[in-house]
Amino acid sequence: MADKSDAMMQHWQKTRNLTFLILILWFIFAIVLPAMANSLNSMSFLGFPLGYYFCVQGSLIAFVAMIWFQNWRQEAIDDEFGVNE
């Protein structure tokens, strides 16, 4: 019984750490970069101010990548501990 409890605790720790990582990345792309957009607007990319480009295009790409990464890693964690069986 202790082995199952230890495995559940390890599963939760890995899931929690993954969630914290995704939340930190989300904070950076949703709050920090848009807050810095004005200082980035002195440069341009593809004819658009860099701050605008990061907020509109870069954040969307980052969010899709984060969703894919979290799903991929969570499936690996679940498989490691036999949660999906």
**Residue 17: per-residue pLDDT:** 97
Distance CA 57, CA 52 (A): 8
Per-residue pLDDT, averaged over 4-29, amounts to 94
What residues does each domain of the chain span? 14-80
11-16 long-range contacts, CB within 8 A, separation 24+: 11/77, 11/78, 11/80, 11/81, 11/83, 14/77, 14/80, 15/74, 15/77
Average pLDDT of the residues of the chain? 88
Residue 11 has pLDDT above 90, yes or no: yes
Q: Categorize the per-residue pLDDT at 85 as very low, low, confident or very high, splitting at 50, 70 and 90.
A: low
Stronger pLDDT, 53 or 81, i.e. the higher one:
81
At a CB cut-off of 8 Å and minimum separation 6, what does 8 contact? 81
